[in-house]
Amino acid sequence: RMSGGEQQMLTLARTLMGNPLAILLDEPSEGIAPIIVDQIGDMIARLKANGISIVLSEQNLPFAARIADRVYVLQQGEIKYVGPMDALLHDEKTRGAYLEL
C-alpha cells in the first residue's frame, strides 16, 4: 500500500539502521514523483556529507550529478567512460554518445 517514494524512503531508513560505512543504491529515483526524488537526493547528499560512501547505479543524470564525484558509464556491460562527474557534464561528445536520446 506504500507509494514508490515511500518504499524507497523505507529501504533507505532500514539500511541506515545498521550504521553502514557504505551503501549501494540501485536506481533510487526510478518511478518516483519529482518532489520525492528531490527529498531522496537531499537525504543521500547528507549521508555523503556525513562520511558514508555511496555507490549509485542511476540513469537519471541530473540526480546522479547532485551526488556523484566519479562516474562509470556502462553500455551492455562494458565500461565506456570513467572520470569525474564535472568532466562528464562538460563532455558533450560522451554525453551524446551514451547518455542522451
pLDDT reading at 89 higher than 70: yes
Distances (CA, A) of 29 to 36, 48, 97: 8, 17, 23
The mean per-residue pLDDT over the stretch 40-55 comes to 92
Cα distance between residue 56 and residue 54, in whole Å: 6
The mean per-residue pLDDT over the stretch 87-91 comes to 94
- What's the confidence (pLDDT) of residue 6? 81
- What's the confidence (pLDDT) of residue 101? 58
pLDDT reading at 27 higher than 80: yes
